[in-house]
Structure 1
Amino acid sequence: MTNTSGSTAAASHDSPQTESLQVNSKDVARIARAAFAGTALEWYDYFLFGTAAALVFNFLFFTELNPTAAVLASFATFGVGFAARPIGAFVFGILGDRWGRRPTLILSIVLIGVATGIIGMLPTYDQIGLAAPVLLVVLRLFQGLAVGGEWGGATTIAIEHAPPEKRARYAAMVQLGSPVGTLLSSGAFAMVLLMPEDTVNAWGWRLPFLAAFPLLAVALWIRMKVEESPVFEQLAEMDDRPKVPAAAVFTKAFGRLVIAICAALLGVGGFYLMNTYVISYTTTVLDVERSSVVNATLIAALVQIVVVVIFGRVAERLGPGRVTFIGGLATALAAWPLFLLVDTGEPWAITVAISAGIGLLTITYSVTGALLAELFPVELRYSGVSLGYNLAGALTGFLPFIATWATGIQETPSVMPAVVLLVIVSLLTALGGLLGERLRVKDDVVITEAQ
């Protein structure tokens, strides 16, 4: 394999000669939409937990703790999902690279949809005691395992149906699942918060989780119509495929994995600092009304959709690595001013900060799929993409916890710990983009588009 500049890629393999396969443009778009639909459900389920962790789980499932400790315990449970994601990436990566992209994606969507729905049926601490948070942690683990295999697979199957010159836009379509999932989850909670507070705390919070069951049925119906990747079909004919592709990523493409992790850090960790941490900080420390902050995340999600669409196209001209570099630097420069706005406690300023911050970090997120998919050769792609993205998630999933802890030990609570964390993550992502652009690889199957 060769990279885009023509030099030999570090992760090479014995493969057949390059082949050309023509696909219909309508089919390519349909596959990308199906990947998006499933991913939107996955992120709805996953983000829903983050919103609930910031708003209600602290006193519903950890009531014997003092208020600060309860918030920390709630965020620790939230972070458990990130710790499970690399395990899911490893397992689902093996299935996706050996068994197929399509069946693996069907399995992942069923797992997370069922786990999320059951959360809506859980008894609280007051009802069953310690078993309540234990069961919550177990279900969060299942969510993390499923998401560990979902995003990498959806990205892989979308770009493997697309011609190389249009991969960035179709990979960006998968990324739209994140803001749409945010809109769905925040919108669901915004509607619930219209109820009296006692009703919300008693049973209203359960409704968005129970909605995962009908949403799963719709997403599963859509995903069942997706054809297997033509690139994987050619890969399945190879005799020298790694038996454990996820392990081979560490032995044959470790440097690329490190770069992939760096490139994905901001899109994952930065989001949760600007969303989950800010929700918690503003509602518990600044005593801002919960509904105002949740509404701010809805506006931010709309901004995110626009940014994803624009920079998916920009990446086709500049390259996803360069776009990642630009987005990382821009977010690092804006981190302090954005959190100063948050610290004012004014709802309008918080809305501006969340929207602008998530918009900036989405510049990198919009092209993460395209960049990571082209860092790994096809026989390691599902595993490499999933591991890179989800190890980044594991490293940054506890950022809300760390930022909340650091805020709590200050004499006068402030957002400075979050500023420092966001700057570090942004600069590492910029470095990942700079290096990743130089290491992109080509496939042995070249997809061309018929109009």
Structure 2
Amino acid sequence: MTDSFVAAPSDGPTAGRKRPRRAAVAAFVGSALEYYDFYIYGTAAALVFNKVFFPTSSAATGTLLALATFGVGYVARPVGAFVLGHFGDRYGRKKILIFTLLLMGVSTFLVGCLPTYASIGVWAPILLVVLRLLQGFSASGEQAGANSMTLEHAPDHQRSFFTSFTLSGTQLGLILSSGVFIPVAALPDEALLSWGWRVPFWLSAVVVAAGLVIRRSLTETPVFEEEAAKDEVEKLPLAVLFREHWADVLRIALSSLVSTVSTIFGVYALSFATGTVGVPRSTMLWLTVAAAFVALFSITGWARLADRVGRKPVYLFGVLGSAGLMFAYLWSLSTGVVALFFVFGILMSGVVYHAQNGVFPALYGEQLPTRVRLSGMAIGTQIGFALSGFMPTLAAAVAGEGTGGWLPVALLVLACCAVSAAATLGMRETFRTPMALLGVRTPKDESARIPA
């Protein structure tokens, strides 16, 4: 079966032109709300979970165990990608986006209700891991669903720009989560460890209510509706995916290892700075907020560039550039000089890293046809993200002693980025390929390209 649909009707009537904007706004706001939930866990894992859920361990072991619970959420991601990817390609993007929001919100709220180790012993960390697994299951379908929704609504010549709003939304979620933790982290330790850390998790109830209102207003994508009307929706999309597109999924998975930059920046570096170097918690949270604020604008800027010059050059610059800047950033943290690590942190995490982060929704999604797009993106990215999710734990294990122990961590990031770059070189350049031909194995036909 081949894709027989036409490009999204974004060049038609006014109603059609509004669809891409509406989908982009819904993806932006929905992703912000969803990833608020996901990011507050990482912050709590780095700052307080070692004392709340692993108090009987040594300081180093407790930190390692707390960071491991962060990584556990990534274990559920590949499993969730298979399940939610199937249903997203079988029954539509909108249903998946509503389900993932509900699951993420409920599991996050319940984390804030958990009794501590002092109350119920070993059951406390066990329940924490269970809820983290549910978070990871939800996140596995969220980004692929939002990316598919915006890609399939977007006009051909602006697909990177419109899909980038999904990633801009994740940065707003990071800003919100860090912003909530700034006053919480400033509390006295007794208040922080008893009730303060719970407040950001309880606020997810508000997150869910707002997100549902937005996502229920979405319409299904035109290309999926057309396939459904023609009875061309695959009953077993995963079978088609692994029979015809397994190489694309593998390249996406390996390329996604660049997300190690994000997990090291957001979890390991936070723990290293506050626990080893002695940087105040609030200072590191302000750095996270500043970098994410800059990223709100850099993401769409890089995406616009990718619509003009191609996906791969911009993406590869982000991969290799952020790998190099990780050395400078971790070194600057070791000095304890605030101005220095703010400069390198914002340059790496706010600007250069997002050259790939803003482009990958289009680059990955355009490797696949509509009938397997959501499942292929979900499975490929979540395998890569799952590996990246454990990198903070591996980093803590390989890091040297004291403030000079950052070099093995930077080398770990470099290795992951090298694999990502190699996989990306094997992908097709698709920025001038019409929607109807994405993922279709046909001889090259320059007449079918989108005009520059």
Q: TM-score, normalised by structure 2?
A: 0.91
State yes or no: 1:51 paired with 2:40.
Answer: no
Aligned to 2:302: 311
User: Are 2:185 and 2:282, in contact at CA under 8 Å, matched by a contact in 1?
Assistant: yes
C-alpha distance after superposition, 1:193-216 (max 9, x if no partner)? 232222111101111100000111
Match in the other structure for 1:89 = 81
Q: 2:265 aligns with which of 267, 270, 274?
A: 274
Instruction: Answer whether contact 2:106 2:205 (CA < 8 A) is retained.
Output: yes
1:342 and 1:353 in contact (8 A); partners too? no
- Alignment correspondent of 2:199: 207
Would the alpha carbon gap of residues 248 and 62 (structure 1) be closer, same or farther in structure 2, given more than 3 Å must change?
Answer: farther
What pairs with 1:197-346 in structure 2 (closer than 5 Å)?
A: 197-239=189-231, 241-266=233-258, 268-346=259-337
The answer to whether the Cα contact below 8 Å between 1:20 and 1:445 also exists between their aligned partners in 2 is no
Q: Structure 1 residues 247 and 119, CA, compared in 2 at 3 Å: closer, same or farther?
A: farther
Note the C-alpha offset of 1:250: 2.6
1:333 Cα offset (Å): 2.9
Q: What amino acid is aligned across from residue 243 of structure 1 in structure 2?
A: K
From 145, 150, 153, the counterpart of 2:137: 145
Equivalent position SS for 1:189? helix
- Corresponding position of 1:438: 429
Amino acid paired to 1:16:
S
The offset of 1:373, in angstroms, is 0.8
Deviations 1:10-51 (A, max 9, x none): xxx334364673353233211110111111111111111000
Give the counterpart of 1:354 among 345, 356, 372: 345
1:428 paired with 2:416, answer no
Q: Hey, what does 2:443 align to over in structure 1? A: none
Mapped to 1, the partners of 2:148 and 2:90 lie a distance apart of 14
> Are the aligned partners of 2:261 and 2:322 in contact in 1 as well (CA < 8 Å)?
no
Q: Secondary structure at the match of 2:429?
A: helix
Check whether the contact 1:54–1:279 (CA below 8 A) recurs between aligned residues. Answer: yes
Q: Name 1:154's counterpart in structure 2.
A: 146
Shift of 1:434: 2.6
Structure 2: distance between partners of 1:439 and 1:32: 20
Structure 1 stretch displaced more, 191-200 or 33-42: 191-200
Q: 1:102 to 1:205 in 2, by over 3 A?
A: same
Contact 2:175–2:292 (Cα < 8 Å) also in 1: yes
Unpaired segments ≥5 residues, structure 1: 1-12, 447-451
Could you tell me which residue of structure 1 aligns to residue 408 of structure 2? 417
Q: 1-side partners of 2:3 and 2:377: how far apart?
A: 20
| Cα 1:425–1:229 shift into 2, 3 Å | same
2:38–2:135 contact (8 Å) kept in structure 1: yes
> 1:442: Cα distance to partner?
4.3
Tell me which amino acid in the other structure corresponds to 2:183: M
Is 1:103 equivalent to 2:95 in the alignment?
A: yes
Give the aligned partner of residue 71 of structure 2.
79
- The one-letter code of the counterpart of 1:14 is T
Cα distance in 2, alignment partners of residues 46 and 100 from structure 1: 24
User: Measured at CA, do residues 234 and 353 of structure 1 come closer, stay the same or move farther in structure 2, by a change above 3 Å?
Assistant: same
Matched, 1:363 2:351: no
Matching residue's letter, 2:260: G
How far the C-alpha of 1:318 sits from its partner, in A, is: 1.4
Shift of 1:350: 2.6
Alignment partners' CA distance in 2, 1:357 and 1:302: 13
Corresponding residue of 1:16: 4
Q: Following TM superposition, by how much is the alpha carbon of 1:242 offset from its aligned partner in structure 2, in angstroms?
A: 3.5
**Counterparts in 2 of 1:247 and 1:68: CA distance versus 1, 3 Å:** farther
Which residue in 1 is equivalent to 2:109?
117
**Is the partner of 1:438 in helix, strand or coil?**
coil
Q: Secondary structure at the match of 1:436?
A: coil
In 1: Cα distance, 2:4 partner to 2:118 partner: 62
Distance 1:378 1:74 in 2: 39
User: What is the aligned partner in structure 2 of residue 5 from structure 1?
Assistant: none
CA distance in structure 2 between the aligned counterparts of 1:434 and 1:29, rounded to whole angstroms: 31
Q: Take 1:124 and 1:411, find their aligned partners in 2: how far apart are those partners?
A: 30
Q: Indicate the percent of aligned positions where both proteins have the same amino acid.
A: 34
What is the alpha-carbon distance in structure 2 between the residues aligned to residue 247 and residue 204 of structure 1? 47
Cα contact 1:120–1:206 (8 A) shared by 2? yes
State the partner residue of 1:373. Answer: 365
Report what 2:442 is aligned to.
none
CA deviations over 1:276-322 (Å, ceiling 9, x no partner): 11100011111221111111111111121121021011110112222
Distance 2:197 2:8 in 1: 51
Distance (Å, rounded) in 2 between the aligned partners of 1:223 and 1:310: 26
Distance 2:263 2:178 in 1: 14
1:328 deviation in Å? 1.5
Farther off after superposition, 136-145 or 63-72: 63-72
Q: C-alpha root-mean-square deviation of aligned residues, in Å?
A: 1.9
Distance in 1 between residues matched to 2:28 and 2:8, nearest whole Å: 26
Query: Residues 398 and 443 of structure 1: is their aligned pair in 2 closer, same or farther, counting only changes over 3 Å?
Result: same
- Structure 2 unaligned runs (5+)? 439-452
Contact 2:3 2:370 in 1 (8 A): no
Distance in 1 (CA, whole Å) between partners of 2:70 and 2:324 is: 28
- Residue 404 in structure 1 maps to residue 404 in structure 2: no
- 1:193 has 2:181 as partner: no
Could you tell me how far apart the structure 1 residues matched to 2:17 and 2:5 are? Answer: 25
Pair 1:424–1:75, CA change in 2 (3 A) = same
Question: How many Å apart are 1:275 and its aligned residue?
Answer: 1.8
TM-score by length of 1: 0.91
Instruction: Give the whole-Å Cα distance in 1 for the aligned partners of 2:6 and 2:209.
Output: 39
The answer to which of 16-25 and 332-341 deviates more is: 16-25
In structure 2, distance between residues paired with 1:375 and 1:204: 45
2:159 corresponds, among 157, 161, 167, to: 167
* Number of residue-to-residue matches in the alignment: 432
Quick one: structure 1 residues 19 and 69, their matched pair in 2 at CA, closer, same or farther if it must change by over 3 Å? Answer: closer
